[in-house]
Chain A
């Protein structure tokens, strides 16, 4: 038992998602992709939807992947991964880790029916969503993961709706494992990937990845912003195993949401000459609801 726990907690660095990609400096998604694939190991097939990750990591002739890589359309990474899994079954090959992955637009909007189908059919696939809260690849358009009040190019006055809670929707499909994570706690993230891959059936991991360009913060703050998202209660960290919410990451010292909003350009208009407007109070209310709901 102890050996297994040690194996899960060990930090992995194998550079399977290597140097030389074209992501912006301080990109959260590039960091998350490396952490996920290093945890998964060499015996992995990456099925990646169109999006930032695909664009910056795979241009010919020098992609940065060191494992088999499949590029799919915006809407169907889950369907492609399901097909890969079915093919392995038919050929009686394996076992192999199949990771379907996409950004938030592909996951929450365009590709949602494929994901729902994959969960419902029960394929042995890990689905990883890199959530940067807008369509960053095509020019910062609003997605249904964009949080309340955030600026995007299609919501210049701030997003009027609240973020879709996909981890809970995924859990309601009755899949065995759902988790949320951020890039700041790499131990926790890699442990969750390894735990997920050790479970048979469809799994879903939701990772918050700051986008310095779209969020309007310096690249050096990527990790700090993640930490603030957790500590304000805006992004709860938990696991759902067999339908039960467990391992909720408690907030050590609660931080007011202003500290999370202020360094980010997309929330700048919520402050008039440094004084928060009433929208900030509404965002604080969302954070408070999260804290109460998940007992953070």
Chain B
């Protein structure tokens, strides 16, 4: 035995500690959870991931790569997405949700400015896939298939790719050069594209099914449907789709002094705001009220800011023409009755309530449908393509997604469907059984310990003044300050993922939380952990949870 100095009972540096871990009945585990932002994002973006990269490393490049793992069009979505993620953000119960949409746009713009390239995942395979339509669904599907190694060819009916993003969304919301650059980046992965080819008209569907291992139909819904009122074939009566397509193709339309837009959807809002920029007095006629309008709320607000008149409970009855030109619109008043099949109040005409409104142009944005010219496929409600849960249509090996399947939806939804279809096509070609891992549970405000967060002001984007914005078609939100976006990213709660606050490390009464030498992350020393649960209780983001002993 070692000889110790006089009076010293033992050398405390050489003690083997007593293992108290055997007392435990519950044990702490690090559990990554799904944050509500990702849960509510239709494209399934790793929002927490890219915000944490921005906050911790201030690295826009890495953030762009995190974001483009799921979404190949961040600069586009950052402009046009109605951001359901922000409605999901757990910060809404604390102060205000994060400005995720603005952060996405800043990251997307950085990628364009520094010309970042998408990374390819695996080497080429020999299987070929045809994608019909180059809208968000088609591009997303082509992008994810190419990253998986497939050879993809896109067929586009119009002269430029982008689908409704190119021909539907006006340039004050999404400038054409932004979309063009983002699409170029996707095509640079090695995707072939053939424009001015309408499948079903220029080449038959059979050709595709015969020559390709799988086909994806991202047809979109770009055909206006009419409500059949007298005088619709007059000059200066447009469907909403037609009107936007003409404007976005660079044509100049004489709209006259008064423009009436009929409808309450996003197309109606776009038409009204475009017409306003052409110098007309614009009114939107809708047969229900603002509450029932299907358009994005922010779009309606901005339209109202731009002094567009809204006339509710009004339904067109007849277009009044003079020498084949529109001069006015005869409308009846409606009242709302019990809800119909869509859950919205049913409008019923009031007798003898007709009146005439003067109009130089009437734009009927009353609905859109899929152009099935030459494509034989099974439909639901005689309107949208019917698919099974793997997005496969009635034809074997033909998949579909986007507006043509779902009805009128957003860009993000179409991107999400493109991703889903890409995995389904991969499984189909490889003959795999479709298997889906359950994502980790979603984390809600009640699970968080918000004591450790501080209230901070939300980033707010500044719009150009109404006076200047109505003079041209330039974007109404100028680009953001990158430092401010990083400050905004620092507000992220990081729900369900460790952000190294060190609470568990400092609060453990048993020193059972160690910094792992290999990963640098906090880890539990189960030899000593007594399972008191203090770390789980004081973890701000609910990353640590108590589970039953293994």
Contacts and interface: CB of A to CB of B under 8 A. Distances in A.
Interface residues of B, number: 34
B537 A13 contact: no
Given A19-B512, A20-B528, A26-B532, A223 B538 contact: yes
Contact of B17 (A20, A23, A219, A227): A20
A25 interface: yes
Interface stretch (B287-295, B337-345, B488-496, B503-511): B503-511
Interface residues of A, number: 40
Interface string B352-375: 000000000000000000000000
A19 B528 contact: yes
Interface in B71-100: none
A212 B533 CA distance: 12
A166 interface: no
Contacts of A65: 12
A83 interface: no
Contacts of B536: 220
Contact of B509 (A11, A23, A63, A227): A23
Contact of A219 (B19, B502, B528, B533): B533
Contacts of B12: 63, 65-69
Interface string B14-45: 01111110011000000000000000000000
Contacts of B509: 23, 25-28, 30-31, 34, 222
B15 to A, nearest CB: 5
Contacts of B505: 13
Main SS of the interface on chain B? Answer: loop
A13 B502 CA distance: 11
A11 B505 CA distance: 11
A62 B20 contact: no
B144 interface: no
B17, B24, B525 — most chain A CB neighbours (10 Å): B17
A21 B510 contact: yes
Contacts of B506: 11, 13, 35, 186
A86 to B, nearest CB: 17
B451 A19 contact: no
B528 A221 contact: no
A64 interface: yes
A156 interface: no
B511 A19 contact: yes
A18 B534 contact: no
A65 B9 CA distance: 13
Given A31-B507, A224-B537, A63 B15 contact: yes
A20 B537 contact: no
A262 B20 CA distance: 30
Interface in B273-301: none
A227 B451 contact: yes
Contact of A20 (B10, B19, B531): B19
B420 interface: no
Contacts of A223: 507, 534, 537-538
Given A23-B509, A31-B508, A62-B18, 12 more contacts: A19-B510, A19-B511, A20-B19, A22-B18, A27-B532, A30-B510, A64-B15, A64-B17, A220-B536, A220-B546, A223-B507, A223-B538
Interface of A: 11, 13, 15, 17-28, 30-31, 34-35, 60-69, 183, 186, 212, 218-224, 227
